[in-house]
Amino acid sequence: MTAPKQQSAPESVSSGGVRAQVSYVDATEGDAGQRIDNFLMRVLKHVPKSHVYRVLRKGEVRVNGKRAKPEYRLVQGDKVRIPPLRIETEAPQEKPSRSLQQALLEAVIHEDRDILIVSKPAGIAVHGGSGQSFGVIEALREARPELKELELVHRLDRDTSGVLLLAKRRAALRELHARLREREMDKKYLALVMGRWTLGPKKIDLALKTNLRQGGERMVQVHPEGQTASSHFKPIQFFGKVATLMEVSIGTGRTHQIRVHAAAAGHPVLGDEKYGNREGNNALKGYGLRRMFLHAHSLGFQKPASTEKFSITAPLDEELQRVLDNLKKAEKG
């Protein structure tokens, strides 16, 4: 059976900058496995992300006649209904700064036919939204326009540094997303937590639920009706009673998972302003900690269309390494 031909979304726009009619797009083989929100943002390049998510929340985007949630993954042949949407027509689209593009090009630590991996600096979001005009994906697409199918495979919090995996082809993206769903990716983080960890190697299985507080702030909490979440904590270095450096492996990738699980264990991640301890965070400023100490240290997985096992490591940046060095010096007296 041949793949259905993808129909281009109509470009007719009213004087108010609104897409004037409902349109339909058929998902092709290359779209299969992609989240509907990412698909829409690729198809509707000139529509603000906030509008895309608004129509998704309202149920105005339908797949095969049914409402589609943002996390819905497309199947080849799905018919996607796109409602009329406001288009940014009054001013030229802003672009990621050259400095951001250059910083991310310099952060690339591996690239081959299927994947691109960056050691993401802290403070940069993986994608635009929530007050950020641009993130890693937008900046790399602008810097590497020849990579027309570049997509994020997974996400990191804005203040988390380290290994971030992107797919250069949608076929590779589908395979890598399948690895994630089957929990066949080995993700390890380094986290500096408050106090001396006395629990030994510890697996924490606590379900997590995301809530939106007043003002749109997203918070995650342990909740029996939340999504399952599993984190393995292993202490690797103690700094007296002040802090413990942990290696954390995650079997699931829930929002803020490590941060909430660490706080639930009584040892919040240091520098974490949302789930952390203010007194502990202030104490670590004396050692040079100016941000959250959470770093995606390594990633291991099977490469797309291959049996080859692949792993990569991103060392701590100078700022976090300096904090550890200062803690060591303080212990020696």
Residues with a known catalytic role:
157
Contact between 197 and 233 under an 8 Å Cβ cutoff? The reply is yes
Those residues whose C-beta lies under 8 Å from the C-beta of residue 198, and which sit 6 or more positions away, are: none
Q: Which amino acid is at 79?
A: K
- At residue 330, the 3 state secondary structure works out as helix
Tokens describing residue 83: 């409602």
**CA 230 to the chain's CA centroid:** 18
Contact between 43 and 25 under an 8 Å Cβ cutoff? The reply is yes
Contact between 202 and 273 under an 8 Å Cβ cutoff? The reply is no
Tell me how far apart the alpha carbons of residues 315 and 163 are, in angstroms, rounded to a whole number: 9
Q: What long-range pairs does 48-53 form, CB within 8 A, spacing at least 24?
A: 48/86, 48/88, 49/128, 49/129, 50/129, 51/85, 51/86, 52/85, 53/129
Tell me how far apart the alpha carbons of residues 105 and 126 are, in angstroms, rounded to a whole number: 14
